[in-house]
Amino acid sequence: MKKMLPKTCVLLTFVAGGIAVLACGCEKARPAIAKVSPEEVRPGSTVTIAGKGFSDKPAASVVKVGEAEARVKRQGADSLLVVELPKNLKPGNYDLVVTDRSAKSASRPVRLRVLHEVVTIPAGTSLKVRATDGVSSGQSRAGDTFRLALDQPLVVNGRTVAEAGSEILGRVTHAEESGRVSGRAELGFTLTELKPTHAQRAYPIETDAFHAQAKGTKKRDAATIGGGAGLGAVIGGIAGGKKGALIGAGVGGAAGTGVAVATRGKEVEVSSGVRFTFRLKQPVEVEMTGGQPVASAR
């Protein structure tokens, strides 16, 4: 068995002025891919291609993933290529091919699997939300869920991860009717899920908690709001003392804007349209494709 050479030489014999001359015309072997690392990648990530027969001229090497062209970042002689994948690649299986433009030859395809792009929402990120459903200390129980919506787009490093109006799920953590706890009604809740508008998948989230307590006084009703930091504010009632109102400021990471919580008959109520700000306690990874959150079943 003959050993394969990197180049194929053809001997040519011709007569020039009666003298026989031997000439060698060399044709470069086609590129060959030995290994692609990693084999499962995300759009915009870096891939290392090991093999042989690659062009030693950076401009001559072309790497294609399906119909898209990857950018050659680094080249190691004729046996190594480091490339950056296009950021707009959609998830799926692709054929990766290395072409030597100068020799007009291409490698055999190697399969590459492209996964969804993942954007991480950092812990501490503020979520500005508004209530869609109403919730109250008199009617709700711990464990009950209710709907809210993002009041402002959620943007991470210039990317919109969830648009305004995206669904948020809240869960009641504590609810006591007036008269059951030293005569004071209490209501607490936190956020548990985020479902971006263009996605069918809901992502579990963990946020700080909201807590409000109605407090009866001789002159008027009032409500106290607090958070994990142990802060609170008591705001006096309105309308002749029959109804109290809580006007929010930053309290324990959760706050209202405008009239946030009302005490009606000494119950704590959150009505539709009330705005709050919560902060994430843990980072959240959101899968993206084509610049939008993934539209796939949970």
Q: Tell me: the pLDDT tens digits for 140-172? A: 999 999 999 999 999 998 889 999 999 999 999
Query: Is residue 17 one of the residues assigned to a domain?
Result: no
The pLDDT of residue 242 is above 50: no
Structural domain that includes position 57: 30-115
pLDDT of amino acid 243? 34
Which of 115, 140, 160 is a domain's end point? 115
Distance CA 69, CA 73 (A): 12
Band of residue 213 on the pLDDT scale cut at 50, 70, 90: confident
For residues 147 and 221, state if they share a domain: yes
Contact 168, 130 (CB under 8 A): no
Query: Is residue 15 one of the residues assigned to a domain?
Result: no
Contact 213, 175 (CB under 8 A): no
Query: Is residue 16 one of the residues assigned to a domain?
Result: no
Q: Give how many domains the chain has, as a whole number.
A: 2
Which of 67, 84, 115 is a domain's end point? 115
Contact 233, 252 (CB under 8 A): no
Beta bridge partners of 193: 169, 204
Cβ-Cβ contacts under 8 Å for 213 (sequence gap 6 or more): 184, 185, 186, 187, 223, 224, 225, 226, 268
3-state helix, strand, coil in the chain (%, to 5): 0, 60, 40
Cα torsion angle, 289, 292, 297, 298, sign: positive
Beta bridge partners of 226: 211, 232
| Least confident segment among 124-133, 223-232, 255-264 | 223-232
For residues 96 and 131, state if they share a domain: no
131 half-sphere exposure, CB direction, 13 A CA radius: 25
pLDDT of amino acid 228? 36
Query: Is residue 21 one of the residues assigned to a domain?
Result: no
Band of residue 206 on the pLDDT scale cut at 50, 70, 90: very high
Distance CA 263, CA 225 (A): 12
- Angle at the Cα of 71 from the Cα atoms of 66 and 73, rounded to 5 degrees: 140
Query: Is residue 19 one of the residues assigned to a domain?
Result: no
The model carries a pTM of 0.61
For residues 44 and 139, state if they share a domain: no
For residues 102 and 227, state if they share a domain: no
The pLDDT of residue 282 is above 80: yes
| Cis omega (within 30 of 0) for bond into 38 | yes
Percent of the chain predicted with pLDDT > 90: 45
pLDDT of amino acid 55? 83
Which of 115, 137, 152 is a domain's end point? 115
Distance CA 273, CA 158 (A): 27
| Least confident segment among 28-42, 108-122, 169-183, 210-224 | 210-224
- Angle at the Cα of 225 from the Cα atoms of 223 and 226, rounded to 5 degrees: 150
For residues 82 and 35, state if they share a domain: yes
Q: What's the token pair of residue 162? A: 């969830």
For residues 227 and 136, state if they share a domain: yes
